[in-house]
Each structure stands twice: as C-alpha cells, then as structure tokens.
Amino acid sequence: MIPKSTDEPVNKSVNIKKYKIKREWNIGIFIFAIVFLYLLVTVILYLTSNKVSVYEVRNGSILKDNSYTGMILRSEAVVPVETDGYINYFVSEASKIKAGANIYTLSPDKVSLDESAEANGVSLSVDKQNSIVLKTQEFNSSYNEDNFSKVYDFKNDLKDTLQSAANNTKTAQLDSLLASAGADSLAVVSSVSDGIIVFETDGYEGVTQDSFTVDELENKKAKVESYTTNRKVRAGDTAYKLITSETWSILFEIDEETAKQLADTTYIKTKLNNDKDSIWADFSIITKEGKQFGCLSYDNSMIRYANDRFVNVELILEDETGLKIPKSSVTEKDFYVVPSEYLTHGGNSSNTGVLRQTTDKNGKTISEFVEAESYATTEDGSVYLDPEQFKEGDVLVMPESTDTFMMKEMSKLKGVYNINKGYTVFKKISILCESDSYYIVETGDSYGLANYDHIVLDANSVKEDEVVFN
C-alpha cells in the first residue's frame, strides 16, 4: 500500500510583461509626404485653374491689294507705208529707235534674205561676250533671295544686250542687200522720230483719258493686227506703230467704296501682270458716264508693256513686314505721361528713374529715387511711366533744379502680355498695319516684342503679373 502524499501542488505559472516597441523617425517618409501633398495640390490647381492659350510670335507680313484689269493709254502713232512693194524690217520688235534710224526696206519683188544668219542666231562680238560673262559673275556673287527682284534687272540687262546685237546683225544684212540689189531697186525708209517700235496695232491707238468710252474699257476686246516681214503692202497700209513717249497711263473701273477709300491717294504702289517688280504710279480718279475710274500714270518702264493693251493691275494698299500677332492678344494699359527732363539715373546705378518728392520721419521734404523705365516717347518728348510704381498726385523733382511736376495726366498704350518668364508682363506694341485677324507690329524695340516670344492669345483672360498655366 502506497502512502498518500501530503505535499501541496506547486504553482509553476510565469508572469510575462509586454513592452512597447520604440519606432525610429524616418525622414524619407516625411519628405515623400510633403512632395506628394505638393504634387496633389499642384494637380488640383492645374485642373481647376483657367487655362491660358499661348501664341508664339513670328515674323510675318500682311499684303492688302485690289486687283483689276486696266487699259493702257499712251502716246503712239501708226506709221503708213509710202509706196507699194514688199516690206522687210531691219529692227527688232519692241526696241528703242532714234530719229533717222533705218526701219525697213521696200522693193518691187520679194527679197531673198540670208536664212542661215537667222538660223545661226545672233552673232556676238568678243567684247559683248565678255560683258555678258562679267555681268553674270557679278550677279551670281551678289545674289540674295531676299532681293529676288534683282533677277529681273539682270534679265532685262541681258535682253537689251542681245537685242542690240540682233539689230546690228539685221543692219549688216541690210547693208549686204543694198550692196547686192542697189539703191534703185531697194528703198530704205527711216524713222522720223525717236520711240519704241511695235509691229502690231489694235485700234485703240487714238484713245486718250479725255476721249475713252466706258464701252471701250468694259469690252476689253482689242482687234490685234500683226505685221510680218517680207509681205506685200500698198501705199497707205500700216508699216509699224511708234510709241513716242515714256509717259503712259492705265485706266480701270472702281466701285464707289474703293473710290472713297482712295479719294485722298495721289501716289500708289502697283504690280502689273503678276510681275515680281512693283512700280510706283501717280493716282487719280476720273468720273465718266456716272461711273468712276482709277487712273495710274507712269513715266518709265513703258518698253516692258509695249505689246500690251489690257493688263492685270494690283494696287498694293498695304505691304508691311514685321512681327505678326493676333488681334485677340492686344490690350491697353494706362501710363503716366511725364516730361523726359525728369528722367535721371539714381546713385551708383545706371538704371533710369525719377526723383519723387516725399518727407522723412522728421517731416522734412526730401527727394527719393524711384526706378522707372520709359515704355514709349510722345512727339513732344514726354515719356510713358508705369502707374504701378506711382499714384496720382505724386510730385516729381527735375534733376539739378527746383522745378516740380505733379503726376496726373494718363494716356493709353496698346500692348500684349508676354509670358516668357511664367507670368504676364505688359509689352507695348507699335502697329504698322492690320488684316481681319492679325496685326503687323514693329520689331527692334528694346521694350517691345521679339521673334519667338510667347504671348497670351486672349488678353482678356489674364491680368498683369499673373502666373499662367498652359
């Protein structure tokens, strides 16, 4: 028998205490939170802000012109043939001739011309060839795409040289004919006056500014008759036409609105037949049969249009090049107008400003320098100062003088808001011309715009010094 134990049970439980874990401070999380909050606020501001449309300023031009078809009027004489016979010309079409120059021959029979000379072309002397080579080299070395009109000057120069050579060749042929045929069978006819010779007529030769009719101008149907060499003629037939003056004009019908617009115009820029070159002309308005006609008067370049009667005319009313900006970008700002004598330089600074009258803490009147730039200058020499730096009634002191000026008068300047720095800055503009949607403004102004500047497309959508999002 096993004896019963009298010992009490032993309590073996353990008391376990929980300790809080100390977390270390993480600066990275804090920075991330700040950056995240900044980005969140920025995105919200961007989504809720008024978006500003931006326009990049570029060089451009505006050409405003009116196009018409006009009738050329000039001093011209139709010269008849003196006797019957076969006529042969020995000058080139649309060339200048002098009084006494041999124009054509008359013979009882057809003349056998030297066809080989025509086939082989114009014979140029060595001096003429060298002259053409030299002119070509000079043109190539000085050519500039921005002055393309010089191409036409070069073309006309070469044309004159070749035409002169062609006339010399024909003169040589004439001398050869006279030597072989003899003066008895070959009559030589000379010009009685200087002029430009044309071998065609159109029936408008006698029309003048006083005698023209509306029907003649509206029909625009010239009956052109050309005169060829070595043809049979009778006494009294037309031999040629001679333009006897460099003074000529163009008539064209204009509507009432255009007539009012050009009522005070006396000199105008024109282009004829879509030429690259422009020609300046005297301008006047003629009224006939209840209609109004523009009249352009020239005193040069007649030879270029000697064979034309009706030409396409462009009136260049405006042709300006500069910085092209939308009209919607333009706004106005008030500026104080101050005599330029009050501008000075302050202290050791080279910045421009004015001396403003004020009082110190002791109540003594003193002058303080206020930096201020001039935005523009008036015709009388006054300058425009930004009103943000002044208030009405401020008194300015003229440098080295006791004269004062109270700021009161204000005037408006046109300008745009430049946003190159991320906020709106007023930049004044000088408008040269305009179209329906754009202005051409002056470039080169140190206080104005420059090529590739960025401006606000709609000036009414922002205020000055406003930070913009685009």
pLDDT tens readout for residues 70-127: 999 999 999 999 899 999 888 888 888 899 988 888 888 887 655 444 434 556 666 6
CB 457 within 8 A of CB 339: no
Say which range, 161-170, 263-272, 332-341, has the weakest mean pLDDT: 161-170
pLDDT band at 24 (very low <50, low <70, confident <90, very high): low
Cα-Cα-Cα-Cα dihedral of 25, 31, 34, 40, to 10°?
A: -130
Sign of the dihedral defined by the CA atoms of residues 37, 39, 44, 50, in that order: positive
Q: Is 136 within the bounds of a domain?
A: no
The two structure tokens encoding residue 426: 């007023």
Mean of pLDDT values over 239-252: 94
Residue 281 falls inside a structural domain = no
Element (H, E) at 271: strand 267-272
As a whole number of angstroms, the distance between CA 373 and CA 83 comes to: 85
**pTM of the full structure:** 0.61
Residue 115 lies in a domain: no
Q: Which residues pair with 8 in a beta bridge?
A: none
Helix, strand, coil % over all residues of the chain, rounded to 5: 25, 40, 40
Question: How many independent structural domains does the chain possess?
Answer: 1
Q: Tell me whether residue 371 is in a domain.
A: yes
For 145, the 3-state DSSP assignment is helix
Taking 50 as the threshold, does the pLDDT of residue 382 lie above it? yes
Residue 354 counted as domain residue: yes
Q: Which domain, by its residues, includes 442?
A: 330-461
Distances (CA, A) of 470 to 39, 327, 455, 456: 17, 20, 11, 10
Whether residue 183 has pLDDT greater than 60: no
Residue 253 has pLDDT above 90, yes or no: yes
Pairing of β 365-371 and β 374-377:
unpaired
Instruction: Give a yes or no: residue 223 inside a domain.
Output: no
Quick one: pLDDT at residue 312?
Answer: 92
**DSSP symbols for 83-129:** SSEEEEE-S-TTEEE-TT-EEEEEESS-----HHHHHH-----HHHH
Angle between helices 150-181 and 126-142 (to 10 degrees): 170
Indicate whether 340 belongs to any domain. Answer: yes
